[in-house]
Structure 1
Amino acid sequence: MSPTSTPSTRPQLAHLSAQLDDLRARGTYFRLRVLEDEQASVCHYDGREVINLASNNYLGLCNHPKLREAAIAATEKYGVGSGAVRTIAGTMRIHMELEEKIAAFKGVEACVVFQSGFAANAGTVSSILGKEDFILSDELNHASIIDGARLSRAKIKVFRHKDVAHAEELLKEIQNEPGRKLVITDGVFSMDGDIGPVAQLCDLCDKYGAIMMVDDAHASGVLGRNGRGSVDHFGCTQRVDVQVGTLSKAIGALGGYVCGSRDLIDYLYHRARPFLFSTSHPPSVAATCIAAFDLLESEPERIERLWSNTRYFQEQLKIAGFDIGGKTTPASETPITPILIGDGRKTMDFSRALFEQGLMATGIAFPTVPEGKARIRCIMTSEHTRQQIDQALEILTTTAKRLEIL
């Protein structure tokens, strides 16, 4: 075995060490927790059995037998990789089948699959607009939307969270300016769990001739008929020009996608840089996702369990005295349930104490959320049992009282 050496930071990167020291001083430095078995409602992180309230595995599909079978069968038939980007030699029949499956599920003309939800957002926004155009974005939109907007070089205008009147003010200001106007909102906001005003923003886009785009990452598999998302929830399928979704959360695998008109998708095939310059999904991932969309149609009871668990969990948190939004932050309307603490250090200490007691509940602090709005973000799934939820509530309550949070 070769001798090990102590890693050191060269002077050229000393500024990174200084910033890490600042995180430690603030109490918000963290280490990655390592999952040692499958993603489930109870699993093992860092050698400890915990109730898992930190996963995006809303419907328990990460380890569903039918998805496992689909992945294994595709691997045996097609191998483990595609070998190229989609535009050269890496488009396999199974990739096209997945895109056709999603388009049919969403009720649109076409779909393109990206390597991640982040790539889908950033690649789409940056490719369909240019420096002469305008983007109107909710102030709490996901980082991938923000980065895509910056990459597009379009002029960015930010409207107050879910403030449709403010969005209209901004549209009025620029309605006579040359260039296209794009309005973007999350369908479900990832930190507070509230639902975007999709229908009202569609009204604005119709009125001012703007392009309407919705990121439905946390709404996919959660809202709408059989989990078709917030766009379907509001009956706006034919009014939203660009629908973005994810294959990495409720669908249980990996990737992102964009749905819309045939011309939109053909254009993204030609111009979306993440699509053009990234190797396509392994066939096992595509097969897994196809199986997941079949399950959304055949097992709607999973979504019903998800919402039943969510309502119970949130009701019990309120009874216990936790702030889960609605005062200084938006109220959660979905399985994403923030427990507002405020102070970053106190939040991270609370999260670590919960873990020691057998509960995986992640602390979220600045810069992911604004200063003073740190929280424990809990996510309910369809697979949590009532006994597990009650045990999680007991751990949350007793630990919060011990730390004088309650």
Structure 2
Amino acid sequence: MATQWIFFEIFEALNEVPFYHVLLEVGLLLWILWLIFHKSYNPKELEQLTEKEKEQLIDDWTPEPLVGNVPQNHPYLKPPTVSGKAGKYINVDGHHCLNMATHNYLGFVGNKDIEESAIKTIQKYGVGSCGPRGFYGTVDVHLDLEDRLTEFMKMEEAVVYSYGFSTIASAIPAYAKRGDVIFVDENVNFAIQKGLDASRSRIRFFKHNDMVDLERLLIEQAELDKKNPKKAQVTRRFLIVEGIYMNSGDICPLPELVELRKKYKLRIFIDESISFATLGDHGRGVTEYYNIPKEEVDMITSSMEWSLATIGGFCVGSSFVVEHQRLSGLGYCFSASLPPLLATAAITSLNIMERDPSMFKKLQTRCQLVHKALSALSSFSLQGDPDSPVKHLYLRDPPNCRETERNLLSKIVDFCIEHGVAVVIAAYLQMERFVSRDSIRVTVNNTLTDDEISNVALVFEKACSEVLH
């Protein structure tokens, strides 16, 4: 009876369903069965090649080259060879040069105290740190360094990364997610660009250091928020800038940025990889330079690979902000932690900076003297703030062809190296969003003398006379 009742129910249900619907379902069922049991081809029916035919196919096949055609004069085929430490002086292709190419702003490379502290740490801890910070990779010197950075920057907490590039590139996607909006200067460095990509947020670029253009974008966003207030309540807004821009040498207008942050309710992140330990009376960066309270900035990140003569990076901010990275910063969670010897080197560098804060005033004086000397060059236009240790020289009358311009700059760089001044052409990857004009990047350190600065300008003038005329 139960079986008959089931069939009766099915029959009644079929009577209530339209006939075309039943026909469609039956057709779909038959098609699925056909797909399951039907073979697209019979392997036995495939034509078998003879051994001679196989050999002929192999002989006729030409693999594509792993690398395309590269011009024989491409600069990367014959890169300059540097030997020894990249301190105040550097040996490039056998030429003894004054180093105006690397980012040794405070002259800490080769410092005996820093080297001795690193050697003692190796003797105690060895070289590596065995794993990520959360998995047996934390050593007491890591905690000491974070405490020292917190104290030095006068913030609530710090977190240390093992690689400078990954610091800002990991910090951005730790907070900004899909659906958020990020306002960012169009001239930011490549590490920030990679962080923006990883965040999957909506990116709004404003013109370099142009506060009018930034406010225009903020007004547009405010209008969008009014149209969809429900979405606006869950949309987070970030503002990301550099303290000193690597690609231009300009200092960000932090007071204006802070006012816009207050007005439009933004979270502001600053990458101070260059401005840390170069700006301010005590080297605390762009906030000290402008006398802006630290509370006005949500997070500060910096590489330790420029001023501190070590490796790695750090983020400082409120405990609420920084602690989030210990679980969400991929570069922190999944990278082997900073080798203890490098953490100790950073602590020693901070000790030196705190003992002698006059070095920062001296560095700014050197930056201003270099800026004045390079501004007088007849064949170059100079970009960069007078207080910035990074400056860019552009040809005043560039050729129409970019490749020709780069070749001219390469010849000028080669001439400078041959005459005792090491400089480089600023390098950019083609995948970067904004690739600036080719320029010669000049870096300043606080060990330069007046005579050395004058000689640098003289060598540049001779190089231009030799190459451009």
Deviations 1:93-117 (A, max 9, x none): 1001101100111111101111222
Partner of 1:17: 68
**Shift of the alpha carbon at 1:280?**
0.7
**Shift of the alpha carbon at 1:322?**
4.7
CA separation in 2, counterparts of 1:273 and 1:317? 42
Deviations 1:339-385 (A, max 9, x none): 11242221122112222222211012665796772211111111123
Partner of 1:364: 426
Partner of 2:290: 234
Query: Conserved in 2, the CA contact under 8 Å of 1:182 and 1:212?
Result: yes
Partner of 1:35: 82
- Report whether the alignment pairs 1:196 with 2:252: yes
AA aligned to 1:339 is: L
Partner of 1:134: 181
Partner of 1:80: 127
Query: Conserved in 2, the CA contact under 8 Å of 1:116 and 1:256?
Result: yes
**Shift of the alpha carbon at 1:28?**
5.6
CA separation in 1, counterparts of 2:373 and 2:415? 20
AA aligned to 1:132 is: G
Higher alpha-carbon Rg: 2
Deviations 1:375-404 (A, max 9, x none): 111111111233322332222111111112
CA separation in 2, counterparts of 1:53 and 1:400? 17
- Report whether the alignment pairs 1:278 with 2:325: no
Seen in structure 2, the aligned counterparts of structure 1 residues 234 and 191 have a Cα distance that, compared at 3 Å, is same
- Report whether the alignment pairs 1:222 with 2:278: yes
Query: Conserved in 1, the CA contact under 8 Å of 2:374 and 2:382?
Result: no
* The 10-residue stretch of structure 1 (35-44 or 206-215) with the greater mean CA deviation from structure 2: 35-44
Partner of 2:31: none
Query: Conserved in 1, the CA contact under 8 Å of 2:408 and 2:468?
Result: no
- Report whether the alignment pairs 1:393 with 2:469: no
- Report whether the alignment pairs 1:108 with 2:155: yes
CA separation in 1, counterparts of 2:382 and 2:386? 6
Map 1:126-165; keep pairs closer than 5 Å: 126-165=173-212
CA separation in 2, counterparts of 1:382 and 1:169? 40
The counterpart of 2:442, out of the listed 378, 387, 393, is 378
Query: Conserved in 2, the CA contact under 8 Å of 1:332 and 1:338?
Result: no
Seen in structure 2, the aligned counterparts of structure 1 residues 168 and 62 have a Cα distance that, compared at 3 Å, is same
CA separation in 1, counterparts of 2:77 and 2:453? 26
AA aligned to 1:344 is: R
| TM-score w.r.t. length of structure 2 | 0.78
Query: Conserved in 1, the CA contact under 8 Å of 2:117 and 2:348?
Result: yes
CA separation in 2, counterparts of 1:87 and 1:366? 34
AA aligned to 2:105 is: Y
CA separation in 1, counterparts of 2:235 and 2:278? 35
* The 10-residue stretch of structure 1 (83-92 or 199-208) with the greater mean CA deviation from structure 2: 199-208
* The 10-residue stretch of structure 1 (146-155 or 75-84) with the greater mean CA deviation from structure 2: 75-84
CA separation in 2, counterparts of 1:317 and 1:399? 13
User: Counting helix residues as a fraction of each chain, which structure ranks higher?
Assistant: 2
Query: Conserved in 2, the CA contact under 8 Å of 1:159 and 1:167?
Result: yes
Deviations 1:217-256 (A, max 9, x none): 1101110231111122223311100101121001111111
Percent of counterpart pairs with the same letter?
A: 23
CA separation in 2, counterparts of 1:30 and 1:103? 44
The counterpart of 1:65, out of the listed 107, 112, 119, is 112
Please provide the CA RMSD for this pair.
Answer: 2.1
* The 10-residue stretch of structure 1 (191-200 or 273-282) with the greater mean CA deviation from structure 2: 191-200
- Report whether the alignment pairs 1:48 with 2:112: no
Query: Conserved in 2, the CA contact under 8 Å of 1:85 and 1:277?
Result: yes
Seen in structure 2, the aligned counterparts of structure 1 residues 50 and 241 have a Cα distance that, compared at 3 Å, is same
**Bigger relative CO (Cα 8 Å, ≥ 6 apart):** 1
- Report whether the alignment pairs 1:338 with 2:392: yes
CA separation in 2, counterparts of 1:232 and 1:312? 22
Query: Conserved in 1, the CA contact under 8 Å of 2:163 and 2:313?
Result: yes
Partner of 2:411: 349
* The 10-residue stretch of structure 1 (134-143 or 36-45) with the greater mean CA deviation from structure 2: 36-45
Q: How many residues align?
A: 388
**Shift of the alpha carbon at 1:303?**
2.0
Query: Conserved in 1, the CA contact under 8 Å of 2:251 and 2:385?
Result: no
Query: Conserved in 2, the CA contact under 8 Å of 1:242 and 1:258?
Result: yes
Q: Which runs of 5+ in 2 are unaligned?
A: 1-61, 226-231, 399-404
CA separation in 2, counterparts of 1:96 and 1:171? 39
Partner of 1:3: none
CA separation in 2, counterparts of 1:67 and 1:31? 33
CA separation in 1, counterparts of 2:331 and 2:65? 28
- Report whether the alignment pairs 1:246 with 2:303: yes
CA separation in 2, counterparts of 1:211 and 1:372? 28
Query: Conserved in 1, the CA contact under 8 Å of 2:373 and 2:453?
Result: no
Partner of 1:5: none
CA separation in 2, counterparts of 1:227 and 1:101? 14
AA aligned to 1:43 is: I
Seen in structure 2, the aligned counterparts of structure 1 residues 106 and 71 have a Cα distance that, compared at 3 Å, is same
CA separation in 2, counterparts of 1:324 and 1:402? 18
Seen in structure 2, the aligned counterparts of structure 1 residues 121 and 31 have a Cα distance that, compared at 3 Å, is farther
**Shift of the alpha carbon at 1:321?**
2.3
Seen in structure 2, the aligned counterparts of structure 1 residues 130 and 261 have a Cα distance that, compared at 3 Å, is same
Query: Conserved in 1, the CA contact under 8 Å of 2:367 and 2:387?
Result: no
Query: Conserved in 2, the CA contact under 8 Å of 1:344 and 1:365?
Result: no
